Amino acid sequence: MMKLHRTTSDNQDFINLVALLDADLAERDGEEHAFYHQFNSIQELKHALVVYENDIAIGCGAVKQFDSYTMEVKRMYVLPDYRGRSIATTLLAALEQWTLELGYTRCILETGKRQPEAIALYRKNGYKVIPNYGQYAGIENSVCFEKTVSF
């Protein structure tokens, strides 16, 4: 049975899953990994989710405040053996719901062009490509998305 657990970045299961995500991204991004890694610290994440199946941590994600009405989706990951079962979609929907509960109305995110699965996930869930924002402006490998969320 799948269970979503709201937590913070201090959660050890979240930390372990993010380490696996970082290893995957280091392989995909190659020499560019150090650039992206500097923006992906989890120390300040107050709104993290861990997905469990039969008490095994199988996925994670988080949101953090970007501006007064926007949360940024961060650190999305599902273990490879559990992919293809809509777990990431469930996780993303739960993060959007939490965003609304916190009083925000928009989610944004950045992903890499070398992550076609992530791009497909966000498009499938109603995210639209936007110009690269902040530190991602002008970065060729980055793709940024947004979605207005509502009840």
Note the pLDDT tens digit of each residue in 9-19.
999 999 999 99
Q: Which residues, other chains included, contact 123 with Cβ-Cβ below 8 Å and sequence gap of 6+? A: none
Q: What is the pTM of this model?
A: 0.91
2-148 in CATH: which number?
3.40.630.30
Domain ranges of the chain: 2-148
In the prediction, which pLDDT does 44 show? 79
- Averaged pLDDT, 45-70: 97
30-34, 62-66, 68-72, range with the lowest pLDDT: 30-34
Encode 63-81: b = buried (16+ Cβ within 10 Å), e = exposed.
bbebeeebbbbbbbbbbee
Encode 88-100: b = buried (16+ Cβ within 10 Å), e = exposed.
bebbbebbbebbe
